[in-house]
Structure 1
Amino acid sequence: MKHYMIVFGTRPELIKIFPLIKECQNHAKQIKLTIVNTGQQKEMVDILLKEWNIQTNYDLEIMKQQQTLTELTINLMSALEPVLKMENPDVVIVHGDTTTASIASLMAFYQQKKIAHVEAGLRTSNKNAPFPEEMNRQLVDRVADYYFVPTQSNRENLEKEGIDSVIEVTGNTGIDTLHYLDLKRTIGTEQRQILVTLHRRELGEEQLVKICKALVAIAKEYPDIIIKYPVHLNPKIKNIVCSLLSNQPNIDLTNPLNYLAFQQEMMNSFLVITDSGGIQEEAPYYKVPVLVIREVTERQEAVLAGGLKLIGTDERKLYKNVVALLNNADEYESMRAAKCTRTYGDGKAAKRIIRRLLQEV
């Protein structure tokens, strides 16, 4: 029997690692599975674990209030090393670009364990955008043994860097999760909703203020729309957003939504404004246009297909693009009709990954 260890710590990781957990459980006669939750994002992860009835083998509870990246790194190292030594897995499976993924890979490398990187090969080639995620992902790709990439361009990124290990194009496991949920669009109000999420470290306070002012201007000019903004719990973000947006009647500020509720809101939205990585994959799946509040993105495929627009952090550009989509039905429909639905996969990525791992290790 082969022993696989899956390590995650944040909600985005769990959302995309969930199909792999299910697929390993489908091969219980061949795979002993150890599930490790580092607790990097405790509350949000715990909610999903309960909703999806996932029993972890280890909950390392490394989350501390306002800890620095250095403190997070030290805590992860100290907590993960004894688990790896005790369990002695054949392969450690990590996902994406989090600090959990980066440090789990490093600790596995120190223990001379095989490492499988799911969602490998994404690049902006700017080490500070997104920060620290771009370098986290590159660090994992330097020590990994098996690379499971969502798209052909991700494979090409790795090959350009001289990586010649096992690289397999699988699609994105986040799309597997959407297939599993099979949510249906809610039929109801015709009021157009703009869904907003902003949380990146590299989005400065001055930029966030200007973006909020642009949202107020849009809300005032178009009182028939609603702007729904689940506000990130980061106090710096929350204080700015609430102070600038709370008095506009058609801007609805909410606490962070659980995963299912957020997916339903996104599916029913007219437009999404975000700096999130995962949403750049999910919204096109629902054929909802996306304006990306970032200067660069590691997910160029949907930009090239036309479902996303990369508009940076300039509030004037944001205002101009939102107004254009509200006023120009042809422009809106061209984004909505962009051929993005299968850009990131067909819902079978986890099956491909586990099948290949069973062949390799």
Structure 2
Amino acid sequence: MPDTGTVTAKRTYRKEVDWRSKVMVLFGTRPEIVKLAPVIHELRKRFFQTVVVSSSQHKHLIRPFLETLDVEVDFDLGVMKRGQSPNDVASRVIAKMDKLLVAEEPDLVLVQGDTTTTLAGAVAAFNRGIRVGHVEAGLRSGNPLSPFPEEMNRRLVSQVTSFHFAATEKNRRNLLSEGVSTEKIFVTGNPVVDALRSMLKGLEPSERIAGLIESTKGKRRLLVTTHRRESFGPAMEANMKVLRDFVARNSDVSLIFPVHPNPNVKALARELLAKRDRIHLLEPLDYSDFLAVMRSAWLIVSDSGGVQEEAPSLGKPLLVLRENTERPEAIHAGVAKLVGSDPNVLKRLLDENHSVDTWIRSVKEVANPFGDGKSAPRIVRVIEEKLAMRSKRVNAA
């Protein structure tokens, strides 16, 4: 039986009864917080009753992000347990969200992206007859198993969503091809660009990261992140060996690797990369520190979806450690290149760009295809309009 224990109230929350619509915003991971923070602030700016819920799917990783992005959590579902499967997470989120939905009676549940928390929260709301808004709707890789389980999560979320907030026209076309009606799709851009631009104003890294950037001055900083399930095992091992050997061959390169706490990543990084010259293994960074490192990077190597969206705003070239991507806009814009699973391709691309920096210099002039920093106001305007329309119909009845 799933754990359906109590939901923790994180701060003094007053349940208001007035004319304003109530929006419940659910997240559980770092990328969700980054992308929903601008929307949460905009909702409160527009005087919505805004209830912020964390599933704590990535409990220890999200704490510094909440502080950095000035987001206060009203309720914590507390679903995180060591060694749990996606099914464990989903069942617990659904059970605990169900109780919270009954108690709070929101007009809309807003979710983001493709995590297990996102899928479970959307299903819980749908089963209670509550409308769902999906931020970053319409991303598709074309392969149901890659990335896993994210690709299928977002496809399933689309089936129960009332308002699809697509970042790009391509995302909109993906939804239309699946039979979503055009009046339910809104191209808004991705609020990650809002968050990034806001953070870059007066960005001040921690003393530790400022010191690292200073100590690697004059080096080509190679930023690496990897965490996806499909990267685990032989592919990740081969890529880490390529990166290790590339640094060893080139004395002007320093590698910076914020290591994800997943044991599949952490153990391998320690085994292959620890205690080597010019390789810096770091604990997970908060958002301001991560942006500071990104901004200082010569080249980024990553399997992250969020990094594909952030790199263009910083003018940084990106090698994507994946076979395919649901964000082809970055490839088409010339900011990113797909590496695939062959470590020889990664080696070739690293060597080529170390020898000739034409591509790296050209990326600095590319506009971000994922947004202009005004996505959150667009999303909230749609919510404002749609919930107001419903209110008028209810009052007329």
**TM band (smaller chain):** over 0.9
The 3-state SS of whatever aligns with 1:119 is strand
Consecutive unaligned residues in structure 1, runs of 5 or more:
none
Q: State the Cα distance separating 1:210 from its structure 2 match.
A: 0.8
Quote the residue 1:32 is aligned against.
Answer: 49
* Separation in structure 2 between the aligned mates of residue 136 and residue 199 of structure 1, nearest angstrom: 17
* Separation in structure 2 between the aligned mates of residue 332 and residue 2 of structure 1, nearest angstrom: 47
- Report if aligned partners of 1:108, 1:115 keep a CA contact under 8 Å in 2: yes
Mark the structure with the bigger radius of gyration.
2
- Report if aligned partners of 2:43, 2:380 keep a CA contact under 8 Å in 1: yes
Matched, 1:127 2:144: yes
Quote the residue 2:17 is aligned against.
Answer: none
- Report if aligned partners of 1:200, 1:275 keep a CA contact under 8 Å in 2: yes
Q: State the Cα distance separating 1:242 from its structure 2 match.
A: 0.9
* Separation in structure 2 between the aligned mates of residue 285 and residue 249 of structure 1, nearest angstrom: 31
Structure 1 pair 329–236 and aligned structure 2 pair: CA distance change class (3 A): closer
Quote the residue 1:168 is aligned against.
Answer: 186
Matched, 1:289 2:306: no
Matches within 5 A, 1:87-166: 87-164=104-181, 165-166=183-184
The 3-state SS of whatever aligns with 2:171 is helix
Quote the residue 2:65 is aligned against.
Answer: 48
The 3-state SS of whatever aligns with 2:230 is coil
Q: Which amino acid aligns with 2:25?
A: I
Aligned-residue Cα RMSD (Å) equals 1.4
Structure 1 pair 4–212 and aligned structure 2 pair: CA distance change class (3 A): same
Quote the residue 2:376 is aligned against.
Answer: 350
Q: Which amino acid aligns with 1:172?
A: N
The 3-state SS of whatever aligns with 2:256 is strand
Q: State the Cα distance separating 1:182 from its structure 2 match.
A: 2.2
* Separation in structure 1 between the aligned mates of residue 169 and residue 335 of structure 2, nearest angstrom: 18
* Separation in structure 2 between the aligned mates of residue 204 and residue 180 of structure 1, nearest angstrom: 34
Q: State the Cα distance separating 1:356 from its structure 2 match.
A: 0.9
Q: State the Cα distance separating 1:217 from its structure 2 match.
A: 1.4
Matched, 1:13 2:32: yes
Q: State the Cα distance separating 1:181 from its structure 2 match.
A: 1.1
Quote the residue 1:278 is aligned against.
Answer: 306
Structure 1 pair 286–104 and aligned structure 2 pair: CA distance change class (3 A): same
The 3-state SS of whatever aligns with 2:281 is strand
Q: State the Cα distance separating 1:300 from its structure 2 match.
A: 0.3
Matches within 5 A, 1:239-250: 239-250=267-278
The 3-state SS of whatever aligns with 1:278 is helix
- Report if aligned partners of 2:299, 2:360 keep a CA contact under 8 Å in 1: no
Q: What TM-score, normalized to structure 1? A: 0.96
Matches within 5 A, 1:172-183: 172-183=190-201
* Separation in structure 1 between the aligned mates of residue 368 and residue 127 of structure 2, nearest angstrom: 38
* Separation in structure 1 between the aligned mates of residue 201 and residue 340 of structure 2, nearest angstrom: 31
* Separation in structure 1 between the aligned mates of residue 314 and residue 280 of structure 2, nearest angstrom: 22
Matched, 1:331 2:331: no
Kindly provide the CA deviation profile for residues 197-247 of structure 1, in whole angstroms up to 9, marking residues without a partner as x. 011001131111111110121011101110111111111211111111113
Aligned residues: 357
Matched, 1:310 2:327: no
Identity of aligned residues (%): 36
Matched, 1:359 2:378: no
- Which segment is superposed worse, 323-332 or 130-139? 323-332
Q: State the Cα distance separating 1:79 from its structure 2 match.
A: 1.0
Q: State the Cα distance separating 1:330 from its structure 2 match.
A: 1.9
The 3-state SS of whatever aligns with 2:139 is coil
- Report if aligned partners of 2:318, 2:336 keep a CA contact under 8 Å in 1: yes
Quote the residue 1:227 is aligned against.
Answer: 255
Structure 1 pair 107–148 and aligned structure 2 pair: CA distance change class (3 A): same
The 3-state SS of whatever aligns with 2:179 is coil
The 3-state SS of whatever aligns with 1:5 is strand
Quote the residue 1:258 is aligned against.
Answer: 286
The 3-state SS of whatever aligns with 1:296 is coil
- Report if aligned partners of 1:326, 1:332 keep a CA contact under 8 Å in 2: no
- Report if aligned partners of 1:183, 1:264 keep a CA contact under 8 Å in 2: no
- Report if aligned partners of 2:91, 2:120 keep a CA contact under 8 Å in 1: no
The 3-state SS of whatever aligns with 2:60 is helix
Matched, 1:237 2:271: no
- Which segment is superposed worse, 134-143 or 324-333? 324-333
Q: State the Cα distance separating 1:184 from its structure 2 match.
A: 6.5
- Report if aligned partners of 2:232, 2:264 keep a CA contact under 8 Å in 1: no
Q: State the Cα distance separating 1:73 from its structure 2 match.
A: 1.3
Q: State the Cα distance separating 1:120 from its structure 2 match.
A: 0.2
Q: Which amino acid aligns with 1:259?
A: Y
- Which segment is superposed worse, 194-203 or 72-81? 72-81
Q: Which amino acid aligns with 1:45?
A: I
Quote the residue 1:206 is aligned against.
Answer: 234
- Report if aligned partners of 2:320, 2:336 keep a CA contact under 8 Å in 1: yes
